[in-house]
Chains A and B, each alone.
Chain A
Amino acid sequence: MVYVFGIYNRHNAIYILEILRLDANKAFTGKEKKLDYSLYPLGDTAVVVCFGQTIDETTHSKVKILAHYLETKPFAGFIDMVPAFTSITIFYDPICCLESTSKLKGQVRTPYQVVCQIIDETIARMDLDSMLINASRIIEIPVCYGEVYGPDLDFVAKYNKLNLDEVVAIHSEGQYLVYMLGFAPGFPYLGGMSTQIATPRKSSPRPVIPAGSVGIAGQQTGVYSIETPGGWQIIGRTPLKLFQPSLATPSLLRVGDQIRFIPISDKEFKHLEEGQA
């Protein structure tokens, strides 16, 4: 069953479809009540919850669910978290966690042991059936491909023995999952690019890549959220700002979002860019 409602907001140049998907096959079957995971420390103030060694949507949905749960019901001593491809790292305050020891049965433990117990209890308590509602946003990113915005589009086409239109078609027909945000604020690690347009990184990086640049590096595709040096093959640019420090949620994209790239003209690009300013 799929429930769909759409919100088109042309003025903000962001097209968003919210899809609530009740999909038993996506996350867990009703029978799989026990979640498989391992815990290990990252230094003395963080712990990693690892759900597996394969990058796929099923494993990632477990990451998303725990992240969502922690965000809405953080435990005493919870400081921050970083969801990744197959794991989620939780930063905690050892002092705060130790203070909550008195509430737990058993002997005195280290802060790490206390946090592990809290995580075990949290995961056990998560109502897996209700978690089957796997809310996923679809974000459309307008991109002006080639010309001045995509200086490496020619190279990508030649390397893969395609013409320019074919590269644009393949790139924009894909639907990509945001597995993780890292490298820079708002920078998405996307999964799902077609191998037909996979192209190795540039042998020497550019000292400056404009923010909004859409690139390919090996089998990955992504969008530079801030101006940085970089070695990706740049095939286009979006006028959208992926990093918005003045907002409470400073990233346009979030872990778990589905991304579509929409080809636009230079004229539309300039129009949308003005709207963003």
Chain B
Amino acid sequence: MSIRILRAGLLSTIQDLGRLGYQQYGVIAGGAMDTLAHRLANILVGNREQEASLEITMLGPALQFNETRLVAICGADLNPSIDGVTVPLWKPVLIKEGSVLSFKRSTKGCRAYIAVAGGFDLPVVLGSRSTYLRAGIGGIKGRALKDGDLLKLGIPGQEVLRLLQRSTLNIKQFISLPWGIAPSILPSYESNLPVRIIAGKEAPLFTAESWKSFLNTSYKITYQSDRMGYRLEGVKLGLREPVELISEAVSFGTVQVPPDGSPIVLMVDSQTTGGYPRIAHIASVDLTLVAQAQPGDCIDFRKISLEEAQKLYIEREKQIKQLSLASTLQIGREV
């Protein structure tokens, strides 16, 4: 009931949809960087969306399956294969006991999510299995995967168990099931990202020039970027006059500007509070794109209203709900 980590990869961590309800104690919500890919992977294998998945980054791992399992890989293409044969993304895949799922390097996008039907049998810390690296809690002992780790798996639901019993008789190493996320709605990970933002509370404190530059010039993601935040390089942004702000909450998607004028996009592992001026906040629906961006990629910020941002949010949620229902039906039918 486990997966043996033959090779851990660059940064592979267990993540789910985060710890909710503890931010007042300074405990971040955290979780998957690209929540859309994570949720879709879980939906495809019949898991709850909050179930933990394995987030892999840029250079992927090699995983040996000690048991036949239903798996889905969503997000960036890190070139998964079993015995040299390409494994498709965005589809449920039955992987036979003994197979080694191997990843290489991503070209477009940088994070992928491996969901296994039944999830991972790991301790829940403060309501979540997400790995909070800085505090050393969650996931596998609060750290990233290491070569040699044994990842214990949870038990799949009844429907999936029946599907496994029925389908694994004839497969050699793996077989992808005949459905998946429609290619037409798959995100496209480009190196120039249009990212929609709403104006931040402190936007009016910036000079008109700065606001113009922010919306009309590209900002490059530097190598000083990680799960806590992306440091951007571009036309520097300045305030009309110096200001001393009182620290308050920030969150995933907040674009803050420290005194040096180079904006920082706070990502999923950022601290709960901050004191730098917040020029903008990324619309929730575009966080998935930003989560897939790599150093060297360029962001073009585009302003929308809060009302539009929430409309987009609601539309996306409706779409995910439909996918979830469709997936449940398919799994049931396949049995």
Chain A residues at the B interface, C-beta cutoff of 8 Å: 40-46, 48, 53, 55, 67, 79-87, 89, 91, 94-95, 98, 110-112, 180-187, 189, 225-226, 228, 243, 245-246, 249-251, 254-255
Contacts and interface: CB of A to CB of B under 8 A. Distances in A.
A243 B136 CA distance: 11
B314 A95 contact: yes
Contact of A251 (B26, B251, B307, B314): B26
Interface residues of B, number: 42
Given A43-B254, A48-B201, A186-B26, A87 B248 contact: yes
Given A43-B198, A45-B284, A182 B247 contact: yes
A42 B254 contact: yes
Nearest to A81: B24
B273 A245 contact: no
A94 B25 contact: no
B281 interface: yes
Interface in B253-312: 253-254, 271-273, 278, 281-284, 306-307, 309-311
B23 interface: yes
A209 B249 CA distance: 25
A84 B246 contact: yes
Contact of B272 (A87, A95, A182, A245): A182
A249 B201 contact: no
Interface in B237-255: 246-251, 253-254
Contacts of A111: 310, 314
Contacts of A44: 198, 281, 283-284, 306, 309-310, 313
A95 B317 contact: yes
A183 B271 contact: yes
A86 B246 CA distance: 8
Interchain residue pairs A-B with the least CB separation, the first 5: A182-B273, A89-B249, A82-B249, A251-B25, A43-B281
A79 B249 CA distance: 14
15 contacts: A41-B198, A42-B251, A44-B306, A45-B313, A48-B249, A80-B22, A80-B23, A84-B273, A111-B314, A183-B26, A187-B26, A228-B134, A250-B27, A254-B25, A255-B24
Interface in B1-35: 20-29
Contact of B246 (A85, A94, A112): A85
A43 B251 contact: yes
Nearest to A86: B246
A63 to B, nearest CB: 10
B308 to A, nearest CB: 9
B202 to A, nearest CB: 10
A249 B25 contact: yes
A94 B251 contact: no
A183 B274 CA distance: 8
A54 B73 CA distance: 50
B182 interface: no
Contact of A184 (B134, B250, B311): B134
B125 A245 contact: yes
A112 B248 CA distance: 19
A48 to B, nearest CB: 7
B248 A82 contact: yes
Interface string B188-199: 000000000010
A245 B137 contact: yes
Given A48-B249, A80-B20, A245-B125, A185 B26 contact: yes
Given A80-B20, A80-B29, A185-B26, A94 B249 contact: no
A184 B248 contact: no
Contacts of B278: 42
A89 B248 contact: yes
A41 B306 CA distance: 8
B23 A110 contact: no
A95 B254 CA distance: 21
Contacts of A112: 306-307, 310
Nearest to A85: B246
Contacts of A55: 246
B185 interface: no
B169 interface: no
A84 B249 contact: yes
Given A48-B201, A184-B135, A251-B26, 7 more contacts: A44-B283, A82-B24, A82-B272, A94-B314, A110-B311, A185-B26, A245-B126
B57 to A, nearest CB: 23
B61 to A, nearest CB: 26
Contacts of B317: 95
A216 B271 CA distance: 20
Contacts of A87: 246, 248-249
A181 B251 CA distance: 15
